[in-house]
Amino acid sequence: MRKNKITALIAFTLVLALASLSVSAASKTITIKVEGMTCNGCSSSVTKALKATDGVEDVQVSYEKGEAVIKYDDQKVTVAKLQEVITNTGFKVVGEKRADGKTE
């Protein structure tokens, strides 16, 4: 009987530990400067491609500002991958700025 209680306690502890790991993945926000967008169709193409990328949580693309503001899970997607997605839509990445104001 005692062995069953210990096993149940260990299983419960593992479940809690795994749940806390999934919660610890922090969302980050980055602003990527994009060159070559000239219309709403351009920004829609970039938005659609980014939203289809695993780990992207939210996207705001403005052709007027020439930027994409992306909220993403850094455990699932890298900044390099986000840049690659934008480049693959036919536009040029010319810089980025993290939410903390630092440029990369």
Tokens of 68: 């994409």
pLDDT score recorded for residue 72: 96
In a structure prediction context, what are the per-residue pLDDT tens digits for the chain, which is 104 residues long? 666 667 766 766 666 666 555 555 689 999 999 999 999 999 999 999 999 999 999 999 999 999 999 999 999 999 999 999 999 999 999 998 876 665 55
Residue 19 inside a domain? The answer is: no
Domain that holds residue 36: 26-98
pLDDT score recorded for residue 10: 74
pLDDT score recorded for residue 37: 97
Residue 35 inside a domain? The answer is: yes
Contact criterion met (CB below 8 Å) for 3 and 10: no
pLDDT score recorded for residue 1: 63
- 8-44 b/e (C-beta count within 10 Å ≥ 16 → b): eeeeeeeeeeeeeeeeeeeebebbbbbeebeeeebbe
Residue 11 inside a domain? The answer is: no
Residue 21 inside a domain? The answer is: no
CA gyration radius for the chain?
20
The CATH number given to whatever domain includes residue 50 is 3.30.70.100
The domain total for the chain is: 1
Tokens 């502890």: give the residue.
13
